[in-house]
Amino acid sequence: MAKSGKTRVGFIGSGGIAQGKHVPGHLSVKNVELVACCDIDEKRAKAFAERNGIKHVFTDFNKMVEMDELDAVSVCTPNNFHADPSIAALKAGKHVICEKPLAGDAKDGARMVAAQQATGNVLQIGLQSRFNPHWYTLKRRIEQGILGDVYYGRTMAVRRRGIPGAITFINKKISGGGPLIDIGVHSFDLMLYVLGYPDPVEAFGATYRKIAGDPTIFTAGWGGWDPKLFDVEDFAVGQVKFANGATITVETAWASHIDGLGNDWVIGDKAGAKLGNPVKVFTDDGSKGFKEYDLEPLKRTPKEFQSFHDAVRKGTPTLSPASEVLKLMKIFDAIYESAAKGKSVAIK
């Protein structure tokens, strides 16, 4: 940290997620200074720097992370390009908050986790749903036994229409996958998070591209896409078995002829819960009948970027560690592998 006590932050990738989420996220924390940015598009990097009062501009992240005047880095590149800049920053002694998902696949994710463990620096993954006060509270209540033995859950991230237009989302060499890895990462991570991230052992999956191949379809205001470049799924479904006996089903879609599928939910032998704002708990009132109530959120719950900076400054554990999220990448790899093979696959 600087002598002034400020944590000095740089950005690798200066697109919409950096500007819309990471800049305000860092600036919501006291004593943070934005000092550098990097992008392969120098014009975009300079515009980002001017917009945010940043002095140092780079097109090579390896040079940026060597800056002495830098303590932490936001990695905001496309999915398949998370690993190398994160690893370079960690090895250069910087702390990293990397946008979701961890990486394009588990192999790259494992390299990132290995670098974090070797350096001891912070590597937090940008999964903001964990910091929702209602869902954070549910996790704590599940740990206290409110649901009993949780044995099944269902999570959904399904849009009637919402196909991204940018090639960074729709081309597997850049994105790693379609809606499963793009929006499913939030819903599935949240499900695993509230359940204590059990160990996955087997997965079955299926993927489809049924709507995105039609360039004339109604887009509902989303950007147009080139079907020739679109080589990921527009719908995916998976079912995962865990070492503790639980099963979770996931459904994700950028486009589907359905709407209003409802909330994510989990059920245990004592109660069940729908993950809304607020969370609704379903149970029995002894032998008297059914009982339902809204779960009151805890008065003090953590915030995403404050959690990161607390981990940097105080050494407190991050609430979204890469080592945990690596399990999710293994699940996604297994669902895609199962979809390709047409049979369930083991998860090591």
Which tens digits make up the pLDDT trace of 178-204?
A: 999 999 999 999 999 999 999 999 999
CA gap 155, 161 in Å, rounded:
18
Question: pTM for the whole thing?
Answer: 0.95
Architecture of the domain delimited by 130-301: 2-Layer Sandwich (3.30)
Please give the single-letter amino acid code of residue 265: W
Contacts of 20 (CB under 8 A, 6+ apart): none
pLDDT at 151: 97
Encode pLDDT of 256-270 as tens digits.
999 878 889 999 999
Segments making up each domain of the chain, as ranges: 7-126+303-318, 130-301
Look-up of token digits 């560690």: 321
Q: What percent of the chain has pLDDT over 90?
A: 93
Architecture of the domain delimited by 7-126+303-318: 3-Layer(aba) Sandwich (3.40)
Around 146, how many Cα atoms within 13 Å sit in the side-chain half-sphere? Answer: 21
